[in-house]
Amino acid sequence: MFLEIDNLYFSYPGKHRPWILEGYRFGMEAGEKVGISGPSGQGKSTLLRLIAGLERPQKGQIVIDGEIVTSAEHDVTPEARQVGMVFQDYGLFPHMTVAQNIAYGLWRLDKKARRERLETMLELTRMQAFSTRYPYEISGGQQQRVALARALAPNPKLLLLDEPLSNLDASLKVEIRREMRELMEQSQVTCLFVSHDLDDLHAVCERVVRVGAA
Ligand SMILES: Nc1ncnc2c1ncn2[C@@H]1O[C@H](COP(=O)(O)OP(=O)(O)OP(=O)(O)O)[C@@H](O)[C@H]1O
Ligand SMILES: [Mg+2]
């Protein structure tokens, strides 16, 4: 099992807060693309944040690629988990160009390797012609592609997508969904994809699971 979540308990801090996750278990194999659906407020984003190491559970264990990243004794930093994440609002840095955004996570590489990786990602997302533009100078669909390129550039072990298509209007969405499916097939990355839209999930994922009590 590539990602293994065992007996996870999480509630946000505060008195009498309900469990968001209560004894949650989940596993996926390397290269798998799994969708997560479920109603609003059920804990989908929270689950991704726990996997990325942005939240710490009260109890339970998370293993990524054979390494315990979360347990009573372990808390691997988000950076060291090698997990890429795309948020609903894309989270692009507004003061950085497309190229600077994509290269952001490539600081470990030397200049030449960084340049090459950047070119590959620009090509993969067909953003070569836009590399010197700023996020506000490109469309929503293009921003979404840059966010994906930025997350994929450092070759993450695991890619977490939180409603990455929800900001797009309906006509653009169909096109971007198809592009994303192609991109995902090419990259072969292990991917967890959260969406309330089952059409989005079925376009990219082999199976869909639910999070939450309902
Ligand atoms: N930082 C926080 N502090 C306290 N409660 C929070 C916090 N973030 C989320 N919650 C609560 O935790 C529950 C789960 O939230 P979460 O964002 O994980 O849901 P979700 O399934 O992603 O919902 P949506 O589909 O609307 O994005 C919700 O009831 C929410 O109000
Ligand atoms: Mg959410």
The alpha carbon of 78 and the centre of ligand 1 are apart by a number of angstroms equal to 20
Report the relative pairing of strands 21-28 and 3-10 from DSSP bridges: antiparallel
Tokens 């007996």 belong to residue = 7
The tokens describing 11, both together, are: 């509630």
Using CA atoms, how far residue 120 sits from 111, 115, 116, 187, in Å, is 14, 9, 6, 11
Instruction: Kindly report the CATH number that applies to the domain delimited by 1-82+158-214.
Output: 3.40.50.300
Which segments of the chain belong to CATH 3.40.50.300? Answer: 1-82+158-214
The alpha carbon of 51 and the centre of ligand 2 are apart by a number of angstroms equal to 14
Using CA atoms, how far residue 44 sits from 111, 120, 213, in Å, is 37, 31, 11
Q: What are phi and psi of 133, to 5 degrees?
A: -85, 160
For the chain, 214 residues long, give each residue's pLDDT as a single digit of tens: 999 999 999 999 988 889 999 999 999 999 999 999 988 899 999 999 999 999 999 999 999 999 999 999 999 999 999 999 998 888 899 999 999 999 999 988 999 999 999 999 999 888 999 999 999 999 988 998 999 999 999 999 999 999 988 877 888 888 888 888 888 888 889 999 999 889 899 989 999 998 865 4
Ligand 1 pocket by C-beta < 6 Å: which residues?
A: 12, 20, 38, 40-46, 196
Using CA atoms, how far residue 94 sits from 79, 91, 142, 168, in Å, is 21, 9, 14, 19
